[in-house]
């Protein structure tokens, strides 16, 4: 904020946020999230007597694991200024493929591998349409959202496939031995560490930031914009397929409509995590915090017997507050500047 005063007054209100160092605003965002998290925990602890029990952590993990896994590649994609709305459909398609092949007497591990391959192919389709043909990612992924879900429906119809080995479906019932961490959360945490290192400590990560801030400039600086975006979509496809496998095993059944509508939850979590929808700003830590906040809130509200649909008010409100508050100061300054300008006239 201090540099606002040294700047020429004519541009200060508009340009101030752009001149700030990206890590500084990110740091502030995450400290805000920590405060929200503490508030959430206090709220949960006072409103629900059994919130601070051991199994709560497991149930939160069970609810959030797949969404959290899908949020990681989406974070990287949004950082480049693009979006992927097909994530939940890919989750459904991957689960469907796995279930269908298992039903047709494939080895379960081969069926899983096939689901991951389908994820890669689907992601490559997104990536190719967006980077090779230059189509807008929001339109393309709404298309593949419908397409992937449709293919899942064609393959499985109304039937449900179950009967997976108990050694695998137990991930939906028991945590990792000796802990209260669900398997999906363990995978998420591992992936989050990798993503955080790649994003914040490697040239590739810097390239992702650069693409999001100024795609053109990044291109002229020798960054292979198209290639990086393409592989991020492939990564998204594979990880969403992985989430689909976990989702199927957790529920011990594959259905074509598994996870319908989850794409908006995933997007909401990424945005709440402080990732700018225009790209170039955000961090993995923020997204992890956002996952924890949403998970705790949902669990607390469920324990308070608040209807799942009504919980949407809280999620939406949180999302709204999270984007308005950082912009609020600037908006007030702008309105003041405008009224000041009007007075002499």
Work out whether 131 is an interface residue with other proteins (CB under 8 A): no
> Smaller CB distance to other proteins: residue 44 or 145?
145
Q: Judging by beta carbons within 10 Å of its beta carbon (0-12, 13-18, 19+), is residue 96 exposed, middle or buried?
A: buried
CB 171 to other proteins: min, Å: 29
CB 89 to other proteins: min, Å: 9
DSSP label at 177?
T
> Smaller CB distance to other proteins: residue 163 or 328?
328
Work out whether 142 is an interface residue with other proteins (CB under 8 A): yes
Report yes or no: 278 and 327 within 8 Å, Cβ to Cβ. Answer: no
Q: How far apart are CA 300 and CA 311, in angstroms?
A: 10
Work out whether 38 is an interface residue with other proteins (CB under 8 A): no
> Smaller CB distance to other proteins: residue 207 or 290?
290
Work out whether 310 is an interface residue with other proteins (CB under 8 A): yes
161 forms beta bridges with 254
Strand, coil or helix: 248: helix
> Smaller CB distance to other proteins: residue 169 or 260?
260
Strand, coil or helix: 254: strand
256 forms beta bridges with none
Report yes or no: 299 and 60 within 8 Å, Cβ to Cβ. Answer: yes
Task: Mark residue 275 as left, alpha or beta (left: phi above 0; alpha: psi -120 to 50; beta: remaining).
Answer: beta
Work out whether 11 is an interface residue with other proteins (CB under 8 A): no
Q: How far apart are CA 159 and CA 321, in angstroms?
A: 42
> Smaller CB distance to other proteins: residue 193 or 331?
331
Work out whether 312 is an interface residue with other proteins (CB under 8 A): yes
Question: With CB under 8 A, what is the number of residues at the site for other proteins?
Answer: 49
Per DSSP, helices labelled H in the chain are: 3-6, 9-19, 22-47, 54-79, 87-103, 108-127, 137-156, 166-169, 183-201, 203-213, 215-220, 225-251, 262-272, 284-303, 311-342
Q: Which of 16, 191, 198, 319 binds other proteins (CB under 8 A)?
A: 319
Binding marks (x or -) toward other proteins, 81..100, rule CB under 8 A? ----x---------------
Q: How far apart are CA 342 and CA 332, in angstroms?
A: 15
Q: Please report the DSSP string for 49-76 in residue order.
A: TTTTSHHHHHHHHHHHHHHHHHHHHHHH
Q: Which of 143, 231, 253, 337 binds other proteins (CB under 8 A)?
A: 143
254 forms beta bridges with 161
Work out whether 292 is an interface residue with other proteins (CB under 8 A): no
Work out whether 328 is an interface residue with other proteins (CB under 8 A): yes
Work out whether 304 is an interface residue with other proteins (CB under 8 A): no
CA end-to-end span of the chain: 30
Binding marks (x or -) toward other proteins, 148..177, rule CB under 8 A? xxxx-xx--x--------------------
Report yes or no: 235 and 229 within 8 Å, Cβ to Cβ. Answer: no
Q: Which of 147, 189, 198, 337 binds other proteins (CB under 8 A)?
A: 147
Work out whether 190 is an interface residue with other proteins (CB under 8 A): no
Output the CA–CA distances (angstroms, integers) from residue 262 to 179, 187, 217, in the order listed: 27, 19, 34
Work out whether 278 is an interface residue with other proteins (CB under 8 A): yes
Q: Which of 309, 340, 343, 344 binds other proteins (CB under 8 A)?
A: 309
Q: Which of 117, 124, 135, 189 binds other proteins (CB under 8 A)?
A: 135
Q: How far apart are CA 22 and CA 31, in angstroms?
A: 15
CB 278 to other proteins: min, Å: 7
Q: Which residues bind other proteins (CB under 8 A)?
A: 85, 129, 133-136, 138-140, 142-151, 153-154, 157, 260-261, 264, 267-268, 271, 277-278, 307, 309-317, 319-320, 323-324, 327-328, 330-331, 335
């Amino acid at each position: 904020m201090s540099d606002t005063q040294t700047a020429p007054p004519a541009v200060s209100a508009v340009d101030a946020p752009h001149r700030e160092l990206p890590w500084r605003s990110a740091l502030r965002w995450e400290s805000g999230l920590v405060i929200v998290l503490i508030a959430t925990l206090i709220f949960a602890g006072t409103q629900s007597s059994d919130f601070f029990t051991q199994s709560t952590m497991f149930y939160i993990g069970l609810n959030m694991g797949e969404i959290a896994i899908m949020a990681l590649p989406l974070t990287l994609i949004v950082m480049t200024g693009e979006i992927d709305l097909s994530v939940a459909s890919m989750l459904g398609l991957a689960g469907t493929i796995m279930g269908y092949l298992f039903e047709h007497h494939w080895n379960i591990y081969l069926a899983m591998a096939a689901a991951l391959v389908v994820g890669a192919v689907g992601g490559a389709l997104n990536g190719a349409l967006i980077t090779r043909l230059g189509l807008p990612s929001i339109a393309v992924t709404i298309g593949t959202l419908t397409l992937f879900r449709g293919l899942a429906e064609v393959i499985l119809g109304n039937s449900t496939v179950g009967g997976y080995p108990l050694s695998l479906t137990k991930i939906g019932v028991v945590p990792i031995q000796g802990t209260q961490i669900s398997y999906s959360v363990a995978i998420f945490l591992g992936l989050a560490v990798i993503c955080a290192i790649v994003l914040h400590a490697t040239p590739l990560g810097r390239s992702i930031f650069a693409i999001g801030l100024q795609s053109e400039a990044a291109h002229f600086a020798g960054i292979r914009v198209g290639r990086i975006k393409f592989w991020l979509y492939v990564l998204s496809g594979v990880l969403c397929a992985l989430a689909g496998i976990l989702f199927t095993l957790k529920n011990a059944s594959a259905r074509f409509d598994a996870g319908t509508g989850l794409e908006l939850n995933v997007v909401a979590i990424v945005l709440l995590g402080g990732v700018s929808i225009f790209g170039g700003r955000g961090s993995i830590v923020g997204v992890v915090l956002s996952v924890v906040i949403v998970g705790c809130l949902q669990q607390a509200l469920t324990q308070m017997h608040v209807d799942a649909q009504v919980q949407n008010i809280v999620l939406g409100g949180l999302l709204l507050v999270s984007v308005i508050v950082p912009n609020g100061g600037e908006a007030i300054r702008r309105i003041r500047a405008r009224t000041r300008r009007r007075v002499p006239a």
